[in-house]
Chain A
Amino acid sequence: MRTYRKPVAAFLACLMLMLCSCAFAESEPVTINFWHHYSAQSAENETLMNVLIPAFEAENPGIRVNAVSHEWAELHDKVLVSANSNALPDVARCDIAWLPEFQKMGILVALDEEMPDFAQVSGQLLDSAMSTAVIGGHYYALALNTNSKIVFYNTAMLEAAGVAVPETMDEWCEALRKLSGENANGQQIWGWNEPALAGWNICPFIWSFGGSLTNAEQTVASGYINSPATVRAVETFAALVQEGCITGFNAGDIPMTDGFGTGRYAMMLEGPWKSAELAGAYPDVAYGTAPIPAGEGGSVSVLGGEDIAMFSTAHKEAAWKFMQFMTSEFAETEMAKCGQIPVNKAALESDTVKGADYAPFIAAIETAKARPTVAAWSEMDNDLTVAMTAIVTGEKTAQEALDELAAQWDILLK
């Protein structure tokens, strides 16, 4: 009997050691990498680093978060490059326009397929914001924050021209004509500033005039981007450019904020960030805000914002917990204090949000539309800019350019 004692003791010791090591391995914290584009010096980053991440790590002792701040464009490029070197983060805050590209690369996790409680989590978020994460019938992200654009108008310029804030597209055209010309100093002034001719800029006009870009399934553009309503929207816009009522997209134009702040641009369509910019650069300028004027399609602005997505190489369980936390009422309310418009329905009801400067944007978000969630959108957007440039410079008619654009888009959407 005694002869067995030593081997049994050794076996039991080994077993204990193994169990201990397993227990130790389980308690070893998982580190998830979170890439985002909150500016390193911003209030949002302060909140993330000093409030949200500590709170999340306290709630989840086994998970650590390594948050890395990138410039907006740099983050997009870095994800592309990292996908090739298999060095992706676990989670990233992505511009809604990037998701289709990343999904097509096959680097995103379809959350509705892999996370059993997805419906419950996404049900707490705004449907319009969640629509930006749907690609091919599956959800590849959670909406994180949203924004849209509304009209900013220079009160003094409108009063001087005797123009009321336009509520319809017809009134808008008339207002622009009255607001454009020369000011008392003999300087040229414009009724409207539009800093580019891309989808982010042109879509609100197309949609509000009743036009569209593609069919609902986002598979065909012919008959939509060159429909009579779209052509009418683009023709109206181009005519106002040629009459000297709209500018801002040329390389030599006065930058938007400077032009608005110095009374050279009477109106512009901009997002919630513009209030802070104006407060910093032109604190004395008196301005008001209003929804985009309604046309045959209603008052439809463009949806912007960010989603939080999980990459295929992620520690999925930990990453999912972090994503849930970042879209929770607590995190969204904290971020709302820094100017981020929440998408969590409970956070939207909070006093913080209701009393915020960006409250007028929330109404616009309810009717705003997202740009097509297709991987080819970058190329389509470029084609749209090229076509719009040809139209506003008079090189092509709206019908000609949009017919050509429709044919190009049909190929890209295949």
Chain B
Amino acid sequence: MIPKSRVHRAQLALLLLPGLLVFALFTVYPILRLFWMSLCDMSFSSMLSQPFAGLSNYREIFQDQTFWIVFVNSMAYTLITVPGQMVLGLLLAVLLSGIRRFSVTFRVLNYMPVVTSWVIASLVFRYIFNTEGLLNYFLWKVLGVTSSNIRWLDSRWGGLSVAMILGVWKGIGWNMVIFLAALQQVSKDLYEAAEIDGCGGWGKFLHVTLPGIRGTILFVLIELTIGGFNVFTSIKMITGGRPAHQTDTLLTWMYYKAFSTGKFGYAAALSFVMALTLALLAIVQFRMMRSRDA
């Protein structure tokens, strides 16, 4: 007689097996293969032989001046767009949770940028910020506050700023929806208790709302940080990395190295550098939130 627990475990294993197999085949294997690629010399001359090259791809990355430019660009994009989206998304959520009429209409309107195609939104932003675009027309010809066209997209920080504005604009709606859901979970009793203790609106937000949605804040923070490092379409469409890769980010640079120069080994190593950076940032974010808990 086989013990019941063992049968149960076998059943569990059988049920898990298909999922585990799919996970192993489509997630674990590609990651391991990619890691192996990052240790190989995979360029045009060695695409088929793929000789082992140790850490030379990683060495090349850290000695590459362009890598540091695109790394700083990705960091800056994340550092600006993540708090931007979160603050504005939370603000909207708080405002919307306080109104009774037209609440759904406002939610839909604010969520619309999220469902807009990245390509279309990027092209619209490009037309707005072009040297002869809509913004310059308004500033110069309508308002008269400038005396010539400003070259918004032609410099490193100008081009990146436009991509950042787009990133924030497009992300506010998603943050709003997540925070709205989180705000529903904060107990009304706590607000009443705070009111009895003499807390004003700001005090309630600081001492009740924020601690009440801390878990959601951490989730959003990590999700958006990953999203920030994954910025690709807007950069490709708005600046194309111009001038001379000055506005490229980690992902657009990785794509360029793999598919334009055939350096798949370098690109694979770059993806691990990026993953490691994201893991480190996630650990820091977890620690910071935990220390506040304590």
Q: Do A and B come from one complex?
A: yes
Q: Is A390 positioned at the interface, with any CB of B under 8 Å from its CB?
A: yes
Q: What is the bound-complex CA distance between A101 and B44, given in angstroms?
A: 6
B261 touches A105 (CB 8 A): no
Which residues of B in the span 106-131 have a Cβ within 8 Å of any Cβ on A?
A: 126, 129-131
Q: What is the bound-complex CA distance between A83 and B45, given in angstroms?
A: 12
Complex interface: chain A residues within 8 A of B129 (CB): 252
Q: Is B159 positioned at the interface, with any CB of A under 8 Å from its CB?
A: yes
Among A73, A77, A254, the residue within 8 A (CB) of B132 is A254
Q: What is the bound-complex CA distance between A253 and B132, given in angstroms?
A: 7
Decide yes or no: A375 and B45 within 8 Å by CB, A251-B159, A390-B244, A393-B243 being known contacts: yes
Q: Is A134 positioned at the interface, with any CB of B under 8 Å from its CB?
A: no
Main SS of the interface on chain A? Answer: helix
Complex interface: chain A residues within 8 A of B240 (CB): 251
Which residues of B in the span 38-56 have a Cβ within 8 Å of any Cβ on A?
A: 44-45, 47-48
Complex interface: chain B residues within 8 A of A73 (CB): 259
Among A83, A84, A254, A385, the residue within 8 A (CB) of B244 is A385
- Shortest C-beta distance, B153 to chain A (Å), equals 4
Q: Is A327 positioned at the interface, with any CB of B under 8 Å from its CB?
A: no
Which residues of B in the span 233-250 have a Cβ within 8 Å of any Cβ on A?
A: 238-240, 242-245, 247
Complex interface: chain B residues within 8 A of A390 (CB): 244
Q: Is A104 positioned at the interface, with any CB of B under 8 Å from its CB?
A: yes
B48 touches A386 (CB 8 A): no
Decide yes or no: A83 and B133 within 8 Å by CB, A251-B153, A252-B152 being known contacts: no
- Shortest C-beta distance, A126 to chain B (Å), equals 27
Q: Is A378 positioned at the interface, with any CB of B under 8 Å from its CB?
A: yes
Complex interface: chain B residues within 8 A of A83 (CB): 47-48
Give 1 or 0 for each of A49-79: 1 = CB within 8 Å of chain B CB.
0000000000000000000000001001100
Complex interface: chain A residues within 8 A of B287 (CB): none
- Shortest C-beta distance, B179 to chain A (Å), equals 34
Q: Is B262 positioned at the interface, with any CB of A under 8 Å from its CB?
A: yes
From B131, B239, B262, name the one whose CB has the most chain A CB atoms within 10 angstroms: B262
Q: What is the bound-complex CA distance between A389 and B44, given in angstroms?
A: 27
Among A106, A250, A378, the residue within 8 A (CB) of B242 is A250
Among B44, B244, B259, the residue within 8 A (CB) of A375 is B44
Q: Is A107 positioned at the interface, with any CB of B under 8 Å from its CB?
A: yes
A105 touches B244 (CB 8 A): no
B242 touches A101 (CB 8 A): no
A251 touches B47 (CB 8 A): no
- Shortest C-beta distance, A387 to chain B (Å), equals 9
Give 1 or 0 for each of B143-160: 1 = CB within 8 Å of chain A CB.
000000101111000010
B154 touches A251 (CB 8 A): yes
Decide yes or no: A80 and B243 within 8 Å by CB, A250-B151, A251-B153, A252-B152 being known contacts: no
- Shortest C-beta distance, A361 to chain B (Å), equals 27
Complex interface: chain B residues within 8 A of A77 (CB): 259
Q: Is B5 positioned at the interface, with any CB of A under 8 Å from its CB?
A: no
Complex interface: chain A residues within 8 A of B105 (CB): none
Closest to B259 in A: A77
Which residues of A in the span 191-216 have a Cβ within 8 Å of any Cβ on B?
A: 197
Q: What is the bound-complex CA distance between A328 and B240, given in angstroms?
A: 40
B244 touches A251 (CB 8 A): no
Closest to A187 in B: B132
B259 touches A379 (CB 8 A): no
Q: Is A320 positioned at the interface, with any CB of B under 8 Å from its CB?
A: no
Q: Is B291 positioned at the interface, with any CB of A under 8 Å from its CB?
A: no
Which residues of A in the span 361-396 have a Cβ within 8 Å of any Cβ on B?
A: 375, 378-379, 382, 385-386, 389-390, 393
- Shortest C-beta distance, B252 to chain A (Å), equals 13
B261 touches A80 (CB 8 A): no
Among A106, A252, A375, A382, the residue within 8 A (CB) of B260 is A382
A382 touches B261 (CB 8 A): yes
Complex interface: chain A residues within 8 A of B261 (CB): 378-379, 382
Q: What is the bound-complex CA distance between A123 and B23, given in angstroms?
A: 56
- Shortest C-beta distance, B162 to chain A (Å), equals 9
Which residues of A in the span 166-210 have a Cβ within 8 Å of any Cβ on B?
A: 188, 197
Q: Is A282 positioned at the interface, with any CB of B under 8 Å from its CB?
A: no
Which residues of A in the span 271-320 have a Cβ within 8 Å of any Cβ on B?
A: none
Q: Is A330 positioned at the interface, with any CB of B under 8 Å from its CB?
A: no
- Shortest C-beta distance, B148 to chain A (Å), equals 8
- Shortest C-beta distance, B227 to chain A (Å), equals 23
A76 touches B259 (CB 8 A): yes
Q: What is the bound-complex CA distance between A389 and B247, given in angstroms?
A: 13
Q: What is the bound-complex CA distance between A343 and B290, given in angstroms?
A: 70
Give 1 or 0 for each of B246-266: 1 = CB within 8 Å of chain A CB.
010000000000011110100
Among A76, A107, A253, A389, the residue within 8 A (CB) of B48 is A107
Complex interface: chain B residues within 8 A of A393 (CB): 243
Q: Is A358 positioned at the interface, with any CB of B under 8 Å from its CB?
A: no
Decide yes or no: A84 and B45 within 8 Å by CB, A378-B260, A393-B243 being known contacts: no
Closest to B42 in A: A84
Closest to B131 in A: A252
From A83, A107, A250, name the one whose CB has the most chain B CB atoms within 10 angstroms: A250
Complex interface: chain A residues within 8 A of B259 (CB): 73, 76-77, 80
Give 19 A-B pairs besides A375-B44, A390-B244 with Cβ atoms closer than 8 angstroms.
A80-B47, A80-B259, A83-B47, A84-B47, A102-B44, A105-B47, A197-B244, A251-B153, A251-B154, A251-B238, A251-B240, A251-B242, A252-B152, A252-B154, A253-B154, A254-B131, A375-B45, A378-B262, A379-B261
16 A-B pairs whose Cβ atoms sit less than 8 Å apart in the complex: A80-B47, A83-B47, A105-B44, A105-B48, A197-B244, A250-B131, A250-B151, A250-B243, A251-B240, A252-B153, A254-B130, A375-B45, A378-B261, A378-B262, A385-B244, A386-B244
